[in-house]
Amino acid sequence: MIKKLIPEYTQIVKNIENILGEKEREDFFRLKKVKDKKTRKKAKIKNIQTA
């Protein structure tokens, strides 16, 4: 009985890891996009100030 359940739990754990990994990547790219936007804005302000 226990040996039969272990593969099921292993698959569930793998699915959870995949979902969390995908969520982590989404968060990373979302934060990177915000950071890039702030960097572009700072560069634009810097160019205006030096002009």
pTM of this structure: 0.57
Per-chain mean pLDDT for the chain: 85
Residue keyed to tokens 């359940």: 5
pLDDT tens digits along 2-24: 566 688 888 999 999 999 999 99
Q: From CA 42, how far away is CA 12, in angstroms rounded? A: 45
Helix and strand element counts for the chain (H, E) = 1, 0
Instruction: Report helix, strand or coil for 35.
Output: helix
